[in-house]
Amino acid sequence: MDQTVKRKMHRTIIGFVPGESIMYKLHPVVRLSLYIATGILPLFIETPEISMLFIAIILILFVVANVNLNRLKIFTPMLITVGIIINLTYIFFPIRKEEGLVMFSLLGLDVNFYSTMWAFAIYLRIITLVLSSVFYFSTNRERDILVAMRTIGTPFVVSYFIGLALRSAGIFLEDYSIIREAEQARGLDVRNLSFLGKVKHFSMYLVPLFTLSIRKSDDISTGLFAKGTELTGKIDGVKRADYLRSKLRITNIDKAWLIAIILFTVTVMVVSITTGLLTIEGSWIFQSIEKYFFG
Amino acid sequence: METKKIIEVKDLVFTYPDGTTALENITIDFYDGEFIAFIGTNGCGKTTFSKCLNGILKASQGSIVVNGIDVVHTKDCMELVKNIGYVFQNPDHQLFNNNIYSEIAYAPRNLGIPENEVRERVIEAAKIAGVSESIFEEHPFFEVKGIRQRIAIASILSLKPAIIIVDEPTTGQDYKQSIEVMEFLKMLNEKLGHTVIIITHEMDIVAEYAKRVIVMTDGKIISEGSVKEVFARAELLEQANIKPPQLTRLAQELKDEGFSPDIITVEEIYSEWKQIKGKNEIAEKA
């Protein structure tokens, strides 16, 4: 009996990837390049409004790629915590303190203008990086990541271990979710626990989770050994055939995308290094706030 | 004697986050004291259905009422777990305390039961499940699988739920262990009055222990009834890719010789064979 089911979503490391997405028309290498580009570019952009534009572009990519934006909700607490930590760090350890542009005082602490702007710029960069990572892992399965790595010539042993690590992460998360269900079935309501209680409670999982991971990793390694897998990726000195790589060929469209991504990344990097266009001082937001507070 | 309705399921639909509809419009009632077996191929929705009954998974549509509790909308998971316990397929997924005593005491402690009563419940549950008090201090994770399975069952028994769901109780166990687990569940059902629901692929186990069978395929219930009734519906079972026990199949093959197609035990087939043999001998003599 054919049990093939066309699903709206496919399960993967970070949760689910859409069953159908325009991103799948691109070769995994192009997707990886896009991820690297969206991961590197924020580091060259200080201007908050351009960072915000970048965030908007990534969010549009989420929609275009058919990724459910509701998935981002789970990252909200993390982003809020990061925002608080960055702001507090820049308040307690201000930059350009000698220039003395104090916006206001908070509980006896001077809130420095440059520090606040930098905290904001850095925070936007982090949001961009988080969103870019979520986007990549929401549109790529483990096999795509491995195909991309093997296509760009990553040594077999590296991609082999990354593959096992990704699989272990998936197994770990699945076991964790079943253990949580088992707790729920025995009347545990974590909402009633204090923060410390939650941390203490989580530590309880460590023995079963790690023992299960070790048992399963042992099974996987035994299985691979039984099938004669070599870490060199070769059989009798000849490179192993790779089914997925043979199925997923780089097309001319992929090449065009690769060139466009590389050119765009290099252009932004050059502009950032050689001109002041992407600096925080060149920001319209920076100038407006400075004018408002200090005239 | 009228039996009390203990679970009422109406128009139940469950869809997973990946869009797979695992259960479609299930309507069924369960009665107090039943021993029920869910059968069907992998992925037909048996486990999903049982997790919905327990409230671990929240139904997308429809209603489930367990002992008067609205499972779909209740926020009081404590009341629910007092009524319905769920033993997972792999005991390793429900053992997370660092000693066996704490493992069995975990659920009653969650309910806020006083410690002296918790102790009584632990000792009682361990005794019923066949877990020796001498290993109470050991880590449950490092016991052999048969013991881990017993600890998992004891950890649910300590809740004293009216209904116990056991997902594949005999998987990975040898014949002796399987029989021990099943005899234990039979005892819970017959002597202690628990309603027992098992999920299994082993038709011989179903034939021997279950009183009622529910056949599922593609998220739907396609047949239900007593073991004899269900195993006699060969065409429906074929639709669900299930083969009745060997003995039933043999009886069905010998239907033309006068055997009933709903035979499930050795005793039944032997008795019918004696009757048929007797009739044939009389006919030959005549």
Query: Which residues of chain A lie closer than 8 angstroms to B103, CB-CB?
Result: none
Residue B215: per-residue pLDDT: 95
Query: Which among B92, B122, B141 is the top mutation candidate for probing chain A, defined by the most A β-carbons within 10 Å of its own β-carbon?
Result: B92
Residues of A in contact with B43 (CB under 8 A): 3
Give the model's pLDDT for residue A246: 72
> Given a cut of 90, is residue A18 above it in pLDDT?
no
DSSP code for B162? S
Residues in chain A within 8 Å Cβ distance of B94: 179, 182, 185-186
Query: Degrees (nearest 5) of the Cα angle A169, A175, A179?
Result: 145
Q: Do A178 and B88 touch (CB under 8 A)?
A: yes
A239 CA: distance to closest CA in chain B (Å): 37
Query: Of the candidates B223, B224, B227, B153, which has an alpha carbon nearest to the alpha carbon of residue B194?
Result: B153
Q: pLDDT band at residue A14, thresholds of 50, 70 and 90?
A: low
pLDDT in tens, A124-159: 999 999 999 989 988 888 888 888 988 888 888 888
SS (H, E, C) chain A: CCCCCCCCEEEECCEEEECCCHHHHCCHHHHHHHHHHHHHHHHHCCCHHHHHHHHHHHHHHHHHCCCCHHHHHHHHHHHHHHHHHHHHHHHHCCCCHHHCCEEEEECCEEEEHHHHHHHHHHHHHHHHHHHHHHHHHHHCCHHHHHHHHHHCCCCHHHHHHHHHHHHHHHHHHHHHHHHHHHHHHCCCCHHHCCHHHHHHHHHHHHHHHHHHHHHHHHHHHHHHHHCCCCCCCEECCEECCCHHHHHCCCCHHHHHHHHHHHHHHHHHHHHHHHCCCCCCCCCHHHHHHHHHHHC
pLDDT tens per residue across span A45-54? 999 999 999 9
When CB atoms are compared, the residue of A5, A179, A207 closest to B93 is A179
How many percent of chain A have pLDDT more than 90?
23
Mean pLDDT by 10 residues, chain B (286 residues): 84 88 94 95 92 91 93 84 88 85 91 92 90 91 84 90 90 81 90 93 92 94 93 88 90 89 88 90 83
Q: Does B271 touch chain A (CB under 8 A)?
A: no
Asked if B98's CB is within 8 angstroms of A179's CB, the reply is no
CB proximity B81 to A under 8 Å: yes
Chain B partners within 8 Å of A211 (Cβ): 92, 141
Nearest to B153 by CA among B126, B173, B175: B126
Q: Is A179 on the interface with B (CB under 8 A)?
A: yes
Does this model's pTM top 0.95? no
Quick one: pLDDT at residue A233? 72
Distance between B110 CA and the closest CA of chain A, angstroms = 6
B154: nearest Cα among B100, B93, B79? B100
Task: Tell me the per-residue pLDDT of A88-130, one tens digit each, with 9 for 90 and over.
Answer: 888 888 776 556 677 777 777 778 888 888 899 999 999 999 9
Q: What is the amino acid identity at position A33?
A: S
Residue A216 above 90 pLDDT? no
Identity of the residue in A175, A189, A207 whose CB atom sits nearest the CB atom of B98: A207
How far is it, in rounded angstroms, from Cα B134 to Cα B149? Answer: 17
The answer to whether the Cβ–Cβ distance between B18 and A16 falls below 8 Å is yes
- Give the model's pLDDT for residue B75: 79
What is the model's pLDDT at position B10? 95
Whether chain A has a CB inside 8 Å of the CB on B3: the answer is no
Element (H, E) at B118: helix B115-129
Using the beta-carbon criterion (under 8 Å), do A186 and B94 form an inter-chain contact?
yes
Inter-chain CB proximity A7 and B156 less than 8 Å: no
Percent over 70 (pLDDT), chain A? 93
What the block records as the tokens of B166 is 């056991």
Secondary structure letter of residue B229 according to DSSP: H
Q: Is A19 on the interface with B (CB under 8 A)?
A: yes
How many CB atoms are located within 10 Å of the residue A11 CB? 16
Contacts of A218 in chain B (CB under 8 A): none
Which residues in A lie closer than 8 A to residue B99 (C-beta atoms)?
none
Specify the pLDDT at position A15.
67
Residue A9 has pLDDT above 60, yes or no: yes
**Residue-averaged pLDDT of chain A:** 83
pLDDT at B96: 82
Has residue A60 got a pLDDT over 90?
Answer: yes
Half-sphere exposure of B8 (CA within 13 A, CB side): 9
Look at residues B45, B50, B66 and name the one whose alpha carbon lies nearest to residue B220. B45
Whether residues B17 and A9 touch (CB distance < 8 A) is answered with yes
A3 has pLDDT over 50? no
Nearest CA in chain A to B142: A211
Residues 230-259 of B with CB under 8 A from A: 241
**By the CB < 8 Å criterion, does B218 face chain A?**
no
Q: Chain B within 8 Å of A197 (Cβ-Cβ)?
A: no
- Tell me how close the Cα of A206 comes to any Cα of chain B, in angstroms: 8
* Residues paired with B195 in a beta bridge: B163
